Structure 1
Amino acid sequence: MEHRVSDSISNTVKTAATQYASLVGKVVFITGGASGIGAAMVSAFVGQQSKVAFIDIDEQASAHLISTIKTANPNAQLWYRKVDVTDPDMLQLAILDASESLGGLDVLVNNVGNDARQDVENISAYDWHKCMQVNLDPAFFASQAALKIMREYASGSIINFSSINALIGPQQMTGYVTAKAGLMGMTKSLSRDFGVDNIRVNAILPGWVATDRQLASWLTEEEEQKWTDAMALKKRIEPEDVANLALFLASDNSAMITGQGINIDGGRT
């Protein structure tokens, strides 16, 4: 979960290079939307004239994002609620309430996550279960709630956030990597279960994205250089790059894409 408030949030208020007619007026629900990739997606969907609901535990960051977007776009249709995603009932109720308030649900983006590092020998049972409660469980329970709504319209797009770390397996991230690998299995399975109702389920696997939190906590100059050396494209992955992929997967332009994991890592894998 992103909790860092920064003036750079204003950078997310941009118009995407591509405008998707199929996203105009669509209802989008994003978990972990207050900052980082989540904030970039909230802004990007608003730029498509979608109606955007988002949840986040961080009320301060959420209020700042809403204010920034509303200043740039007073007509933006936004819905926000503080939600602890480790509470499935609270999460599912938020999805139901947002859909009733905004008029349905067309797109669900399961973005929330926390990539905290920890040595394997120090991981307690509590630590392990908490990691799954944040990084894996919410995607299932949110998708379960979304199915009941999207089924009525026989259409919808669900976008899960995995990570290329599920493919690389870095040290000190066993819990996170396990959860993100699990999300890929969930994506494959749900695409079959939901496909009969014309609901698509895909996953985005970002590389190391230069969010404020990553820059403050992990992405040192040395680490960034090592990561960049392993990439085909020698530049940072920005939150807006990931948001643009989410727009495509949410739109009708990807109508026959489901059950897929798409890497956005500058050629790292």
Structure 2
Amino acid sequence: MTSPNPSYASYPSLIDRTVLISGGTTGIGADMVAQFVAQGAKVSFLGRNREAADALIASVVGEGTRHTPLFLQCDVCDIPALQAAINTARMHFGPISALVNNAANDQRQSIEETTVASWDNGMAVNLRHQFFAVQAVIEDMQTLGGGSIINLGSISWKNKTGGMPAYTTSKAAIQGLTRTLARDLGPHNIRVNTLVPGWVMTEKQIKLWLDDAGEREIDQMQCLKARLDSADISRMALFLAADDSKMCTAQDFIVDAGWS
């Protein structure tokens, strides 16, 4: 992908903008990498899967690509490693203007199966890194005169989804985190919003969780009957990172086809 899809919006303010995306090797994150690159942004992305990252870079770089994305192998649960990776991204592309806190794991566990270790891991992989990534880019955004932070949430807790208490709790907490960060960072012209996806048909979701009952649930609960894909979420992220949303902060932007 070397240029934006002509069916959708192009954002001139994203050209040469420095963007950092966590969990960018597969699923929604990988599509975000591709779409920001197509807009002409300088994209760094974090993840653990180097093979998937190399394939993604090969697929998005071509004639007309303005900036080749930078992959930084990193486990976001390891906060010192996360901080080091963000610093490497900064040294490579310059101060970070937009942060997309996307990394997460919607592991299923019943109440009875949840242990102290699995609970703490759920908080680490879904919530804790979002705060420390924000902390690591604040000075950059202040230097630039502003920035955009996009925290990925989930409709799961809104819909009272059972069977994964650590995940739904951590995702609910993200919206509280967003609102308090928006208040503290607003004086620096730093916007903080939560992007809340519905049930997105990524390869992982289709392989692990989607069955006939799930298909029926989607048809019953969504107002729009088409299936959500990663690009539907990425296009909202583009808007929130661009200057077009310059007066949007402390908000939830829900992309769920009307489920919640």
1:261 offset after TM fit, Å? Answer: 0.8
AA of the residue aligned to 2:5: T
| TM-score under structure 1 length normalisation | 0.93
1:215 match: 206
CA gap of 1:72–1:243, structure 2 versus 1, over 3 A, is farther
Asked if 1:55 corresponds to 2:58, the answer is no
1:39 match: 30
Could you say what the CA RMSD is over the residues aligned between the two structures, in angstroms?
A: 1.5
Residue aligned with 2:89, SS:
helix
Q: Is the 8 A contact 2:40 2:65 kept in 1?
A: no
2:81 match: 90
2:178 match: 187
Q: Is the 8 A contact 1:50 1:77 kept in 2?
A: no
Q: Distance in 2 between matches of 1:81 and 1:28?
A: 13
Q: Is the 8 A contact 2:196 2:255 kept in 1?
A: yes
CA gap of 1:72–1:41, structure 2 versus 1, over 3 A, is farther
1:106 match: 97
Q: Distance in 2 between matches of 1:32 and 1:57?
A: 8
1:110-159 Cα distance to aligned partner (Å, 9 max, x none):
00000010111111100000000100001000000011211111210000
AA of the residue aligned to 2:15: V
1:265 offset after TM fit, Å? Answer: 0.4
CA gap of 1:165–1:72, structure 2 versus 1, over 3 A, is farther
Residue aligned with 2:60, SS:
helix
Pairing partner for 1:260 from 246, 251, 260: 251
Q: Is the 8 A contact 1:13 1:43 kept in 2?
A: no
Residue aligned with 2:237, SS:
helix
Q: Distance in 2 between matches of 1:130 and 1:166?
A: 18
1:119 match: 110
Dislocated runs of 4+, deviation >4 Å: 71-75
Overall identity of the aligned pairs, in %: 39
Asked if 1:247 corresponds to 2:238, the answer is yes
1:72 offset after TM fit, Å? Answer: 6.5
Q: Distance in 1 between matches of 2:157 and 2:67?
A: 35
Q: Distance in 2 between matches of 1:193 and 1:96?
A: 23
Q: How does 1:109-188 map to 2 (within 5 A)?
A: 109-188=100-179
1:75 offset after TM fit, Å? Answer: 4.2
Moved more, 67-76 or 147-156: 67-76
Asked if 1:228 corresponds to 2:249, the answer is no
Q: Distance in 2 between matches of 1:104 and 1:228?
A: 44
1:73 offset after TM fit, Å? Answer: 5.3
Gaps of 5+ in 1: 1-9
1:183 offset after TM fit, Å? Answer: 0.3
1:169 offset after TM fit, Å? Answer: 2.0
2:5 match: 15
1:71-106 Cα distance to aligned partner (Å, 9 max, x none):
465543211111010111111111121012102111
Q: Distance in 2 between matches of 1:91 and 1:13?
A: 30
Pairing partner for 1:68 from 52, 59, 81: 59
Residue aligned with 1:196, SS:
helix
Say how many residue pairs are matched: 259
Q: Distance in 2 between matches of 1:224 and 1:214?
A: 12
AA of the residue aligned to 2:249: T
Gaps of 5+ in 2: none
Q: Is the 8 A contact 2:83 2:133 kept in 1?
A: yes
